Amino acid sequence: MDWRILAGGIMLLLLVLFWVGVVVYRMKGQLLILQQQAEVLRELSDEILYEYHLDSKSLIPIGKCSLLLGEGEDYRRATGALVNSFVFHNDTCQTTEVWIPLPGGRKQRFKSMNSSILNRHGNLDRIIGKLIPAEKEGQTT
């Protein structure tokens, strides 16, 4: 084998690796910007958002949702009520109505709107949702 062909192949490989590195670096920067935009929108929004991870069975309140659900025992009761309201069907979680126990001993009715996130195998991985107070839906409690 001629050393010039080998050297040319190595140079081509190095150029491809450099190009892949540049593309990955740019994508990482774009993802960082999108993540920052999502954080700002969450802070500005008056929506009550949450994320539920099926593997760890943990509910993560986002933004105003953590204020609504409270802390300690109040939080455990409220998240338990929300998680128990989830209706699963064919790897999706459907919209439901739920009474959430709030801090101070009172309960409030919400509509729970859910979107299912599937993993790369097509199985339900997590649920992203929001709570809409019944009053905003034109209902009374």
pLDDT single digits (tens) 82-99? 888 888 776 677 778 889
- The domain in which residue 64 lies consists of 47-137
Say how many domains are in the chain.
2
Looking at the structure, do residues 27 and 5 belong to the same domain, yes or no?
yes
Nearest-angstrom CA–CA distance, 5 and 75 = 67
Nearest-angstrom CA–CA distance, 138 and 134 = 7
Looking at the structure, do residues 76 and 131 belong to the same domain, yes or no?
yes
Looking at the structure, do residues 16 and 64 belong to the same domain, yes or no?
no
Whether pTM exceeds 0.75: no
User: Where does residue 64 fall: left (phi above 0), alpha (psi -120 to 50 degrees), or beta otherwise?
Assistant: alpha
Looking at the structure, do residues 38 and 99 belong to the same domain, yes or no?
no
Looking at the structure, do residues 64 and 112 belong to the same domain, yes or no?
yes
pLDDT surpasses 90 at 19: yes
Looking at the structure, do residues 19 and 38 belong to the same domain, yes or no?
yes
Looking at the structure, do residues 97 and 111 belong to the same domain, yes or no?
yes
Q: Span 8-16, mean pLDDT?
A: 90
Q: Which residue has the tokens 């999502």?
A: 38
Looking at the structure, do residues 36 and 73 belong to the same domain, yes or no?
no
CA 55 from centre of chain: 14
